Amino acid sequence: MLFKLLIAGIACLPLIAADDVFAAIRGNDITRLKALTPAELAERDKSGVTPLLYSSALGSLEGMRILIAAGADANAADNAGSTPLLWAACDPARVALLLANGAKADAKTKAGRTPLMAASSCESGLESIKLLLAKGADVNAVAEDRQSPMMEAAFSGGPRIMRALLAAGAKVEVADGGGFTALMGAVGWDDLELVRLMLAKGANVNAANTFAGKVVHGDIALKQLTPLMMAVPFGTPELVKTLLDAGAQVNAKDSRGMTPLAFSVASTRQDVRVVRVLLAKGADVNVVSTAGETALDWARKFGSNEVIAALEKAGTKGNPVPAAPARSATPLTARAAAEKSVGLLQKSVDSFFAKSNCVACHHQPLAAVAVKAARDAGLSVDEKRFDLMKKTMVALLAPRPSEVLGMNVGPAGIDGLSNTTLALAAAGQEPGLLTDSAVAYLAARQAANGSWEESNTIARTPMADSTITKSVYSMRAMQLYAFPSRKAEIDGRVAKARDWLAHAKPRTSYERAEVLMGLGWAAADTASLQKAAAALVKDQRADGGWGQLAGLGSDAYATGLALRALKESGVAAKFSQAYEKGVAYLLKTQLDDGSWYVRSRAVKLQPYFQSGFPHDHEQWISYVATANAAVGLLR
């Protein structure tokens, strides 16, 4: 089955990057573009992509002007119905050029997606939206998947885009095909006035979604979520109180039996003031989820004594904390420990992909980084499995460039696309349409302040709950796969991200590690690197390790990432004592099978299956922790 998937997926890869015309666009060969014949202007690849369509996202603005002046059709669509205006939607200069040359503002793909929907998914799309609306774009258009401009803005584009759409007559009470509403996205932007505006316009405060996708082993367990449930992991007390005062049900349950109170404490951003607001409104402290957990169980996973005390005072009960597996009695050397752990990571590749049919954006990518680190260090790795990992990721992503360039990546979002792109880089994937489309998407999604932001509603700690995390890995993915026609622009975006990181305020040790790593990748000045490194080293515990949060003990996820950051930023030598203490911690906590055990703190949404890695329900976080540890050991 997996072999068939690989063949089918690779067969779907468009071949345009190898064509002379498209290579000239990608390489910004202006002389060649000016010499194109009418026949070459009308040329299409096997997916129906024309030179102008390709150029609209992956060429330069100058190149687009040359093609249009030579007679390229501004409305020529590919086989999916994507037009140049759709692929260029987040860039106002490109949108203006296309509209001035006859592009249809309301052109739809075969799935009903419009340029306005794509523009609404980007903070940078505000001026594009104004241009499209002035040309008659339908502000309430709905695609086959029930996506609309308002839904795109609610979860991706942000408050400014939402306000612009509302002012243009967008309906406030809209939902996608799974029942997620615009209000559910709006609560994740820390914009109280926007939420109040939507409530005043009639948004349903107790709407509940019905579906969030299906994977091999069943439905994604993100069902019956309400705006309040999606507000409490990251929201302020004022926001939560506003929803409650509007009639939000304080004891509503999602499909896992979790209530707003449980969601409020199952987050790195938990706020005892939010907990108190919920308790004051009658939150039931002893609701037990389908997994047998209470709010107190979740609070203990995050270690805030203040939050735990508030729940205990309210009478909540919890379960005993499970014991961690016994550690190895005879620690290995750093190289032997890393080699053993990488071997274990690789053994699960076949099983994981065969059972999941998923690119695993929060799982396999870190293993790819670990395997590359081991190979670079001269350790033995399974090259066949490494190649299988790369080919499987390519096969799963190959049919999607047109969707990605149309700003339609589904639930994977920014972090999923950036993580997977970094995995491809580690595995040696050559640049091409697959990586170009990822870079173009990430460039379009960068905010004006230099960061990458999405609506913060679903807390998936520690890999998908932080703007810092998204920003560091998105910046790095763009760096590694910047293509010639937009290289200067990408360099500017990296500089902007670096400046944002230099002033970011990390809350956790893993965010501090990511800030340091990002500054190193972006070639920040020595003072900035030393400052970030000192802040990270300050988090180190007496046992030599790092904990993810102040109230939690040391673990391999945080420690491995801290060591990787010290190493990749180039400051490990200056902080060698801290580095060696971290290595010693990892060596004494590795298990006999080569893994490190870390307890999961993410609310489960994937149906459980055994991936071939130890630790059952803790296998995913333990897998990435083991990958982090392996990289950290390989100085």
What does the DSSP assignment read for 134-165? Answer: HTT--TT---TT---HHHHIIIII-HHHHHHH
Asked whether the bond before 462 is cis by omega within 30 degrees of 0, the reply is yes
Mean pLDDT of all residues in 503-522: 98
Q: Does position 110 have pLDDT exceeding 80, yes or no?
A: yes
- Model's pTM, two decimal places? 0.95
Q: Which pLDDT band holds residue 359 (cuts at 50, 70, 90)?
A: low
Spatial CA neighbour of 190 closest among 122, 262, 250, 238: 238
CA-CA distance, 326 to 179, in Å (whole number)? 45
Q: What is the pLDDT of residues 539-591, one digit of tens each?
A: 999 999 999 999 999 999 999 999 999 999 999 999 999 999 999 999 999 99
What's the pLDDT tens digit per position in 169-201?
999 999 999 999 999 999 999 999 999 999 999
pLDDT of residue 546: 99
Q: Report how far residue 498's alpha carbon sits from residue 502's, in angstroms, rounded to the nearest whole number.
A: 6
Over residues 433-453, the pLDDT tens digits come to 999 999 999 999 999 999 999
Helices 413-426 + 467-481 axis angle, to 10: 40
Cβ atoms < 10 Å from Cβ of 386? 22
Query: Mean pLDDT across the stretch 487-495?
Result: 98
Instruction: Tell me the Cα Rg of the chain.
Output: 25
Report d(CA 346, CA 338) in Å as an integer. Answer: 12
CA 383, distance to chain mean position in Å, is 28
pLDDT score for 8: 36
The lowest-confidence range among 230-234, 471-475, 604-608 is 604-608
Closest by CA to 263, choosing from 294, 237, 223, 292, is 294
Identical fold for domains 178-321 and 334-633, yes or no, is no
Task: Give the Cβ contact number of residue 194 at 10 Å.
Answer: 20
Q: Say what the pLDDT of residue 399 is.
A: 61
Q: Any idea which residue has 């001035």 for tokens?
A: 100
Q: Which fold has domain 16-171?
A: 1.25.40
Q: What is the mean pLDDT of residues 469-485?
A: 98
Q: Does residue 627 or residue 350 have the better pLDDT?
A: 627
- What CATH number matches the domain at 334-633, 3.90.470.10, 1.50.10.20, 3.40.50.970, 3.40.50.980? 1.50.10.20
Count of residues making up the chain: 635
Contact (Cβ atoms closer than 8 angstroms) between residue 75 and residue 105: no
Taken in order 101, 107, 109, 110, the sign of the CA dihedral is negative
The residue type found at 587 is L
CA angle at residue 395 from 394 to 400, to 5 degrees? 80
Residue with tokens 């209470």: 294
Write the CA distances from 404 to 458, 556, 634, integer angstroms.
22, 34, 35
- The residues spanned by each domain of the chain are 16-171, 178-321, 334-633
Mean pLDDT of the chain: 93
DSSP H or E segment with residue 555 = strand 554-555
Q: How far apart are CA 393 and CA 374, in angstroms?
A: 20
CATH code for the structural domain at 178-321? 1.25.40.20
User: Is 583 exposed, middle or buried (CB count within 10 Å of its CB: 0-12, 13-18, 19+)?
Assistant: buried
Which of 419, 432, 433, 405 lies closest to 358, judged by CA?
Answer: 419
Positions of E strands within 168-285:
214-215, 218-219
What is the percent of the chain where pLDDT is above 90?
Answer: 83
pLDDT in tens, 47-92: 999 999 999 999 999 999 999 999 999 999 999 999 999 999 999 9
Confidence of residue 360 (pLDDT cuts 50, 70, 90): low
Q: Pick the range with the lowest mean pLDDT from 286-295, 393-402, 494-503.
A: 393-402
Query: Where does the pLDDT of residue 357 fall: very low under 50, low under 70, confident under 90, or very high at 90 and above?
Result: low
Q: Which of 5-19, 24-38, 260-274, 304-318 is predicted with the least confidence, judged by mean pLDDT?
A: 5-19
Digit-coded pLDDT (tens) for 300-318 = 999 999 999 999 999 999 9
